[in-house]
C-alpha cells in the first residue's frame, strides 16, 4: 500500500480493533508469524509491516529517508490506508523505538503502545554518537560499527544466511555464548561483529531451517543497506525530536523483555523509570531464561501477555 515511503508491504489476519506490529533488525513482518493468528483468533485485526528498507517495502536511496519521523508517518499512513483512525502499536527491537515514537508523536492515531525487548528511553541531552563512542572501552559498540555506510554490508552480504544464523544464535537464550567470551554487541578493534558469533553453528530452537531461509531470502534480495540506515540516523533523530526531550508517553503501555537479553541489562535504568516515562504502563515483564528474539523464543507466553494487556486496554 502507498505510504510516504512509497510502498509499505504488510500481512494481516483477522478483523476488529487494529493492532500494528513493527519488527526490528534484522527481521521482517515474518517475526510476528506466531502473533498474527493468535491476535486474529482473539478478535483483533493484526497487521505486521515490513519497515521501509526491508522486505517488499520501498527502499529509498537517501540515508536520511530512514529517520524516525518518517517511519512514524509511514505507520500513521498505514492506519489511514487500512480505513482506520486509530490503532494499538506493538514493536520489537528497533520496532520498539519506532512504536514508542509513533505513540509519542502521533497520540491521535496510536492509542496504546507495547514494547518488546527494548524499553522506552526518552530523548536526552547527549548526542547519541557521543554516547556510543564512550561505550566499550578498547572495543567498538555495535551501533558505531553499523553507522559507517558500507562497512557492515561488506561483512554481511557475502554470506547473508550464515551471518543471520550467527546473529540470531548469538542473542538467543539457548545458543548465546557463555558469559566471559565477550559480548556480541562489541566489536574487537579491527575485527568484525561476526567474530563474536557462537562457534557451534547450531540454530536456536525457535529458528527452523525454513525460517532462516525466509529471512535470508529477503535480505539476499534487498541487501542490508536499508535496514542498517536506521542506525545511521540516530543523530538526525536526536535533532528532529528536540521538542520531545524527556517527554513521557501517557497512553496505556506494556513492556516485555528477556532476562538474558543484553538490552534489558544495559537499559535496566530505563525499565526502572517506566512508571515516570510511561505513566500509563499496565505491565512490565522480564521472562526468565529468554533472550532477545522474545516473540519468537517464547511465542505462547508473549501472546498471553499481549492479549491480557489488550483486553485491559479495551476494557471488559
Q: Nine-digit cell at 258?
A: 528477556
β-sheet bridge partners, residue 254: 114
Catalytic residue among 23, 74, 92, 93: 93
Q: Nine-digit cell at 5?
A: 515511503
138 class by beta-carbon count within 10 Å (0-12 exposed, 13-18 middle, 19+ buried) = exposed
Task: Quote the crossing angle between the two packed helices 160-170 and 209-222, to the nearest 10°.
Answer: 120
Task: From residue 108, give the alpha-carbon distance in Å to each of 87, 89, 102, 105.
Answer: 10, 12, 10, 9
Q: Nine-digit cell at 145?
A: 560499527
For 110, the enclosing helix (H) or strand (E) is: strand 110-116
Neighbours of 309 (CB within 10 A): 22
Catalytic residue among 23, 92, 274, 292: 292
φ, ψ (nearest 5 deg) of residue 263 = -60, -40
* DSSP symbols for 43-88: T-EEEEEPPTTSTTS---S-GGGG-HHHHHHHHHHHHHHTT-S-EE
Residue 292 among the catalytic residues: yes
Place of cell 523509570: 273
Q: Which residues does the annotation mark as catalytic?
A: 93, 292
Amino acid at each position: 500500500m502507498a505510504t510516504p515511503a512509497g510502498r509499505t508491504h504488510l500481512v494481516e489476519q483477522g478483523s476488529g480493533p487494529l493492532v500494528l506490529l513493527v519488527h526490528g533488525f534484522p527481521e521482517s513482518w515474518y517475526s510476528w508469524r506466531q502473533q498474527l493468528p493468535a491476535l486474529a483468533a482473539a478478535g483483533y485485526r493484526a497487521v505486521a509491516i515490513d519497515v521501509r528498507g526491508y522486505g517488499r517495502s520501498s527502499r529509498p536511496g537517501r540515508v536520511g529517508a530512514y529517520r524516525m519521523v518518517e517511519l512514524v508517518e509511514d505507520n500513521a499512513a498505514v492506519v489511514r490506508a487500512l480505513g482506520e483512525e486509530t490503532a494499538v502499536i506493538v514493536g520489537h527491537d528497533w520496532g520498539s523505538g519506532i512504536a514508542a515514537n509513533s505513540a509519542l508523536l502521533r497520540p491521535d492515531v496510536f492509542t496504546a503502545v507495547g514494547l518488546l525487548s527494548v524499553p522506552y528511553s526518552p530523548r536526552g541531552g547527549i548526542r547519541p554518537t557521543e554516547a556510543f563512542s564512550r561505550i566499550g572501552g578498547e572495543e567498538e559498540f555495535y551501533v558505531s560499527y553499523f553507522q559507517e555506510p558500507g562497512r557492515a554490508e561488506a561483512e554481511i552480504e557475502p554470506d547473508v544466511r550464515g551471518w543471520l544464523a550467527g546473529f540470531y544464535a548469538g542473542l538467543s537464550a539457548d545458543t548465546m555464548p557463555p558469559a566471559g567470551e565477550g559480548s556480541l554487541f562489541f566489536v574487537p578493534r579491527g575485527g568484525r561483529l561476526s567474530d563474536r558469533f557462537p562457534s557451534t553453528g547450531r540454530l536456536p530452537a525457535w529458528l527452523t531451517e525454513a525460517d532462516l531461509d525466509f529471512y535470508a531470502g529477503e535480505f539476499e534480495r534487498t541487501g542490508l543497506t536499508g535496514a542498517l540506515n536506521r542506525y545511521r540516523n540516530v543523530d538526525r533523530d536526536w535533532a528532529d525530536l528536540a521538542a520531545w526531550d524527556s517527554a513521557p508517553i501517557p497512553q496505556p503501555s506494556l513492556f516485555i523483555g528477556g532476562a538474558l537479553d543484553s538490552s534489558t541489562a544495559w537499559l535496566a535504568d530505563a525499565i526502572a523509570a517506566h512508571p515516570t516515562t510511561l505513566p500509563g504502563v499496565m505491565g512490565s515483564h522480564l521472562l526468565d531464561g529468554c533472550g532477545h528474539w522474545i516473540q519468537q523464543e517464547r511465542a505462547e507466553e508473549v501472546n498471553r501477555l499481549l492479549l491480557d494487556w489488550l483486553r485491559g486496554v479495551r476494557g471488559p
